[in-house]
Structure 1
Amino acid sequence: MLFTYLILLYFCTMVQTIIIVILFAAALFYVGRMMYRSLTAKKACGSNCKCGVDFSNIKPE
């Protein structure tokens, strides 16, 4: 009975450790992805540089 309890205790501790490692790895991935996306260049600049829009049909006032 005591041996079975120790095996169960060891298994529960091992499962908890695995869950913590998975959560920590997911958090690192999430933070790293946020940092990567904030530091990489955007495809469209969002300013008035005319890099992604065709203004040839617009008449100036």
Structure 2
Amino acid sequence: MMQQIIIGLIFIAAVIYLVRLVYRNFRSGSACETGCGKCGAVDFAKLEKQLKEKGL
């Protein structure tokens, strides 16, 4: 019985962790996969401008 409770708690914690990751990813609104906000998301407009300046 005790093992089932422990496994259940681990499972619930894993589900909560995954839901939190998905929620933060959609809430961030950026291209960053983690949603932590530490890295700058890819700015495609800036990248395209740089490529045009180089003639690529």
Tell me which interval the TM-score lies in, with the shorter structure as reference length: 0.5 to 0.7
In the TM superposition, residue 16 of structure 1 has moved relative to its aligned partner by 0.2
Aligned residues: 43
> Residue 47 of structure 2 is aligned with which of 31, 44, 52?
52
Structure number with the higher helix fraction is 2
Root mean square deviation of aligned Cα? 1.7
Name the larger-Rg structure. Answer: 1
The ranges of structure 1 where at least 4 consecutive aligned residues each deviate by more than 4 angstroms after the TM superposition are none
Give TM-score scaled by structure 1 length: 0.58
Matches within 5 A, 1:14-53: 14-40=2-28, 41-42=30-31, 43-46=41-44, 50-53=45-48
The structure, 1 or 2, with the larger RCO (C-alpha pairs under 8 Å, 6+ apart) is 2
**TM-score (normalizing by structure 2):** 0.62
Percentage identity across paired residues of the two chains: 19
